[in-house]
Amino acid sequence: MSKLAKDLKSTPFTEVIELEKTVTPDVEKRVDHIFVRRKKICTRHPESFATEEIARFEVAWPEEPKEELNESTKVNEEVKSSIY
């Protein structure tokens, strides 16, 4: 998962209210576990009813840059230039 999850936003037809949001990092799996509880209210309905939604998902951490590879290529270039 390279993109972050988009939060729901209110529209002219529904109002979205975030009731609870919990972010728990997991160092071993390198992801964030996210729990969201929100209330959606239908504003166009005459009775304007509300529903509650629970969502759970994971967001992967970005990969760390691998600088070791860059250093090894620099060493190889220095060795090649000293040989010639």
pLDDT digits 0-9 by tens, 3-59: 455 678 888 889 999 999 999 999 999 999 999 999 999 988 888 889 999 999 898
> Which residue would you say has higher pLDDT here, 13 or 65?
13
Q: Which sequence spans correspond to the domains of the chain?
A: 14-83
Say how far apart CA 38 and CA 53 lie, in whole Å.
5
Query: What pLDDT was estimated at residue 80?
Result: 59
pLDDT of 84 > 60? The answer is no
* pTM score: 0.59
Task: Return the pLDDT at 2.
Answer: 43
Q: Which two tokens stand for residue 62?
A: 């970005």
Residue 2 tokens read as 């390279």
Quick one: which of 10, 1, 63, 65 has its CA closest to 33?
1
DSSP run (H or E) holding 74:
helix 67-83
